[in-house]
Structure 1
């Protein structure tokens, strides 16, 4: 059972969140202020995610976030009524994994909690399963139906980047800037297409009808959500 720490000074909201999360099968611990939240976090290493209000009665939520990030990469979702772009950007820049505006819909909150937890678990996992494909991050190897598939360094980087961020569409420029050590302006327009084709030829059952690396017309490439159990 995954554990969520709720940091919220308003009792009605705190109790409501606690009830909702328990109904969804989470274990819950609560803190009405920032200093208590830090103490609880230090005493409970099993905490998997933090829901963090910013306007706390003692210290600012950003101070709590800063304290958490100084120790661990535990996922943090900010819950705030402040809709200023500067506040959202600051929270994300300080290491928050998501920023949800109050009031929020229950199903949206649960969906985003689950999404953040999945991303975090995959980023800290050494194995990624994609249909009949397995990526062993420790070994830097890819297996199809248990058979080792040779990928060049760039091919592997492309696949791993997409696999670690399922359902996220990456544009040509985003992919190039992440995998190339040179200015992407010096890379021919069709170079990425060639590499994507090579990866598909090696990992897809039918590279002309890809099921793993999907083309999103006019936007880029993505790998759809997968089950890595």
Structure 2
């Protein structure tokens, strides 16, 4: 998942970038509204963190121009916490609003909530490192070698690839792939993940399918 931070305070920008990077997001930054708007319009991001008080162009002006062509989720940051400021941001198309100072845990929770709510772009081929998942032909390849998967294995891989970088719980995976209530006594998810891992990771030095103890599974390139 790729996030753009448009923030003119170097310490704040560095702090947020470090935290989001450690949370497995890919992060780009811009220090003023003009550069931030250019990146937002010419690159693809899953979410934009936008400070209201910016040089060159204000955050609200950036948001106004962005909404003319793109619906990328936007989290506004501001030191001002008045109702009028919030209303102005929401009327221009902001998706959420966070007043400074704030706790990082709340910031991260807001980020993850917005990403979960956002419609996902439809793509024909998903890539994770050197792994390719062709959604049209229902095929997968790694390092240009074809990987043969069952229909269920491909569905599981597609789910993980579409949400790469996100830790998916067993309950969520079960509801999406098997469409049944999760039974904590069954290991159907663990068995399916083990079989998929054997096909996409075995024989490769770099592992892509990871277990997050006590939480679930995540597909990501950690290099």
TM-score (norm 2): 0.55
SS in 2 for 1:222: strand
Aligned residue in 1 for 2:148: 150
SS in 2 for 1:129: strand
Aligned residue in 2 for 1:96: 114
Aligned residue in 2 for 1:41: 66
Once residues 22 and 83 of structure 1 are traced to their aligned partners in structure 2, the CA distance between those partners, rounded to angstroms, is 20
Structure 1 residues 42 and 129, CA, compared in 2 at 3 Å: closer, same or farther?
closer
SS in 2 for 1:218: coil
Does the 8 Å contact 1:133/1:142 carry over to 2? yes
Q: 1:52 aligns with which of 70, 76, 91?
A: 76
RMSD: 4.8
SS in 2 for 1:225: coil
SS in 1 for 2:93: helix
Once residues 208 and 74 of structure 2 are traced to their aligned partners in structure 1, the CA distance between those partners, rounded to angstroms, is 32
SS in 1 for 2:141: strand
Q: CA deviation at 1:135?
A: 0.9
Once residues 122 and 220 of structure 2 are traced to their aligned partners in structure 1, the CA distance between those partners, rounded to angstroms, is 19
Q: 2:98 aligns with which of 79, 91, 99?
A: 79
Cα deviation digits, residues 169-200 of structure 1 (max 9, x gap): 22222211222222233x96122222112212
Q: CA deviation at 1:158?
A: 1.8
Once residues 222 and 83 of structure 1 are traced to their aligned partners in structure 2, the CA distance between those partners, rounded to angstroms, is 28
Cα deviation digits, residues 108-135 of structure 1 (max 9, x gap): xxxxxxxxxxx99x85543333344211
Q: 2:186 aligns with which of 167, 183, 189?
A: 189
TM-score (norm 1): 0.54
Segment drifting more, 134-143 vs 48-57? 48-57
Aligned residue in 2 for 1:216: 212
SS in 2 for 1:28: helix
Q: CA deviation at 1:212?
A: 2.0
Structure 1 residues 77 and 152, CA, compared in 2 at 3 Å: closer, same or farther?
farther
Structure 1 residues 82 and 131, CA, compared in 2 at 3 Å: closer, same or farther?
closer
Q: CA deviation at 1:153?
A: 2.9
Once residues 162 and 77 of structure 2 are traced to their aligned partners in structure 1, the CA distance between those partners, rounded to angstroms, is 28
Q: CA deviation at 1:53?
A: 3.9
Aligned residue in 2 for 1:160: 158
Cα deviation digits, residues 135-165 of structure 1 (max 9, x gap): 1234332123334433233212222222233
Once residues 213 and 121 of structure 2 are traced to their aligned partners in structure 1, the CA distance between those partners, rounded to angstroms, is 27
Is 1:134 aligned to residue 132 of structure 2?
yes
Structure 1 residues 204 and 38, CA, compared in 2 at 3 Å: closer, same or farther?
closer
Counting matched residue pairs gives 181
Structure 1 residues 22 and 42, CA, compared in 2 at 3 Å: closer, same or farther?
closer
Does the 8 Å contact 1:142/1:150 carry over to 2? yes
Is 1:203 aligned to residue 211 of structure 2?
no
